[in-house]
Amino acid sequence: MEIVYTLNDLKAVAKQLIENIRSKTLLLYGDMGVGKTTLVKAIVEELGSIDNVSSPSFSIVNEYKTVDYLIYHFDLYRINGIEEAYNFGIEEYLYSNNWSIIEWPDIAKDILPKHFDKIELSINDDNTRTLHINNI
Amino acid sequence: MSSQNIYILGIESSCDDTAASVIYNGKILSNIVASQKIHEEFGGVVPELASRAHQQNIVPVVHQALAKANITKEQLNAIAFTRGPGLMGSLLVGTSFAKSLAYGLNIPLIDVNHIQGHILAHFIDEEGFEKPPFPFLAMTISGGHTQIVRVDNHFDMTVIGETIDDAVGEAYDKSGKILGLGYPAGPEIDKRAQHGNPKAYKFTKPKVDGLNFSFSGLKTAILYFIQREVKANPNFIEENLNNICASIQYTIIGILIDKLKLATKQTNIKHIAIGGGVSANSGIRQALKNGEQKFGWTTYVPKFEFTTDNAAMIAIVGYLKFLDEDFASQDVMASARLKI
């Protein structure tokens, strides 16, 4: 499915996104500046966490808490190979039955759980964003 | 035991680097970070820069720290290690190693919060560097952190402001990426900024309430600005790089200084201690010096090797906790989301 939105609609978009995904593993695609981390902030809030969502670009993984689950928020941009991903224990996170939201996910594509949701973000000329969800 | 002859080994493995340090009564005797040099000396493999496996590095790094300090492990009084926050896989290596070593030597184990380490690095005895008096404000600025912490005592700290999205070092790195500079981009932007006009281009400062920071919007503003200009003139970046860098740096420093001004006003504390890798930035140092004259601040910047991720800061926290006899049990676990 496809959603076109502005930053003011983020809360509603996050709600709609959560209703339309089929897994707890979300792969986030989109160029720098398109608003990936901003969208994650809205998703995490919608999932019921009050934790401060910040960029994991340096830390690689941030963890947020909801009542029932943890949410792992990855940025794999700095990871140079699958070996590095194994070194920080990526499969422990991915197969923990918690939420995984992954920015720049390509490096992990061979070790993902069977079902995941692909979310693609792009920016339009009028500064709105388009979001595509693919259940895989 | 005498409080006069305390040797503590500090171990840091929270993110990319594996590090070990020996401290003797508050003075650092060795401060080692895993690097190719160690691998050369120990004849081992040289892994890719970013993929250092802590497991390969930890033993040589600890050996090197003890050798440089000219002591044997039997002389150690305690082992301090980073418990968190950080990457779980990385933390586990340091935690398990520290627990085993302390158990084997039958000496106390001390768990350290990495963020407290950045702040308490100011209490390392180092000639020419003054220690801040309590209470003071600590601003940690790095690739992963942007925080203002009110410090009332060594272990009485309150976070009063932090980033709600990107860290300041990330703002530098991502701006650098947009401009086609290498990683990390902070040092080059800083260098070029000194030859450019800081008011050449204006970027709007984010509106964030209170003492929190935001740098994500700035990154996006810079991205769109560059895309627009490059459309009109494909050579825009090359022709104006120094001015662009100076304007970015000017905006970032403005954001940091505005928040510090607000923090000093709200808390009435004028002693400001800076930590984290971005504290090496010459523009930020200059702005802090100006703040001393303009606003009556006293600012403290530790020696550079104690500002980036390092084990000396873990060792000093270990020493301070040792004096308080604040030890960890063998049941202690690494904690990826440890808070102050």
Decide if A88 is inside a domain: yes
The boundaries of the domain holding residue A15 are: 2-121
Q: Which residues of A touch B88 (CB under 8 A)?
A: 61, 88-89, 92-93
Rounded average pLDDT over A50-54: 91
pLDDT digits (tens, 9 = 90+) for A91-133: 889 999 999 999 999 999 899 999 999 999 999 989 899 999 9
Q: Could you tell me the pTM of the whole model?
A: 0.85
Nearest alpha carbon to residue A65 among A98, A40, A106: A98
Rounded to 5 degrees, what angle do the CA atoms B281, B252, B245 make?
A: 70
Tokens coding B320:
């301070």
Cα distance between residue B80 and residue B101, in whole Å:
10
Find which of A40, A55, A79 to mutate to test the B interface (most B CBs within 10 Å of its CB): A55
CA atoms within 13 A on the CB side of A53: 25
Q: Which residues of B touch A54 (CB under 8 A)?
A: 162-167
Q: Which residues of A touch B166 (CB under 8 A)?
A: 37, 54-55, 57
Mean pLDDT of the residues in chain A? 92
For B30, B33, B126, B166, the CA distances from B312, given in Å and listed in that order, are 8, 10, 12, 26
For residues B312 and A84, the model is more confident at: B312
Decide if A58 is inside a domain: yes
Residue B40 pLDDT: 47
Nearest alpha carbon to residue B108 among B272, B318, B312: B318
Asked if B57 and A30 count as a contact pair (C-beta separation under 8 A), the reply is: no
Q: Is B124 exposed, middle or buried (0-12, 13-18, 19+ CB in 10 A)?
A: buried
CA distance A59 to chain B (A): 6
Helices (H) and strands (E) in chain A, counts: 4, 7
Residue A87 pLDDT: 77
For residue B229, the SS3 value is helix
Q: Is B12 on the interface with A (CB under 8 A)?
A: no
CA distance B295 to chain A (A): 31
Asked if B79 and B9 count as a contact pair (C-beta separation under 8 A), the reply is: yes
Give me the residue from A33, A55, A92 closest to B223, CB to CB.
Answer: A33
| Overall domain count for chain A | 1
Residue B3 pLDDT: 54
Helical packing angle, B54-69 and B88-105, nearest 10°: 50
Decide if A136 is inside a domain: no
Confidence of residue A78 (pLDDT cuts 50, 70, 90): confident
CATH at A7: 3.40.50.300
Nearest alpha carbon to residue B29 among B315, B301, B277: B315
Q: How many CB atoms lie within 10 A of CB A79?
A: 21
For residue A74, the SS3 value is strand
DSSP symbol at A79: -
Residue B262 pLDDT: 97
pLDDT per residue as tens, chain B (340 positions): 445 799 999 999 987 789 999 999 999 999 999 854 544 454 444 333 333 568 788 999 999 999 999 999 999 999 999 999 988 778 889 999 999 999 999 999 999 999 999 999 999 999 999 999 999 999 999 988 999 999 999 999 999 999 999 999 999 999 999 999 988 899 999 999 999 999 999 998 888 999 999 999 999 999 999 999 999 999 999 999 999 999 999 999 999 999 999 999 999 999 999 999 899 999 999 999 999 999 999 999 999 999 988 999 999 999 999 999 999 999 999 988 888 8
ipTM: 0.71
